[in-house]
Amino acid sequence: IMQLSRLLLIVCVGFSTELLAEDMSARWKEWYDNKFKPCVQICPRHLEFVCGYDQNTSQYAIASSLCSLQKHNACTNADYKMIPIEKCLAYLKVSPEVSTQPHNSPLPVMVFLD
């Protein structure tokens, strides 16, 4: 009976270790596909810019392509979603000059990603 319980313990530990390894492998693959690969991709430059907005930071961003916007999201903790370019253009028309902001102010609300 002692040997049987040892065998069962070994089987259980081996099985849970295998499940843990599969879970880690799935997480690693998810990180690679969603963060690393998009972060190191080379984005073609386009003549038309895209506008992005991050609801978490209330920031607008202008990028040279959707690929560039996604790359920025993958390389940082930003979450810019593409919105119509008119939104960024309208914001630029009403936004104050950056030079008038004090040096200790938070990040500007409009960023240029590339």
Run of H or E residues at 110: strand 110-112
pLDDT of residue 95: 62
- Cα 20 to Cα 26: distance, rounded to the nearest angstrom: 10
Contact 49, 64 (CB under 8 A): yes
pLDDT of residue 36: 85
The closest alpha carbon to 57, from 80, 40, 34, belongs to 80
CATH class of 44-114: alpha beta
User: What does pLDDT average to over the chain?
Assistant: 76
Residue 98: pLDDT band (50, 70, 90) is very low
pLDDT of residue 99: 42
Q: What confidence tens digit (pLDDT) does each residue in 46-93 have?
A: 778 899 999 999 999 999 889 999 999 999 989 999 999 999 888 877
Q: What are the C-alpha distances in Å from 57 to residues 3, 21, 53, 78, 91? A: 60, 36, 9, 8, 15
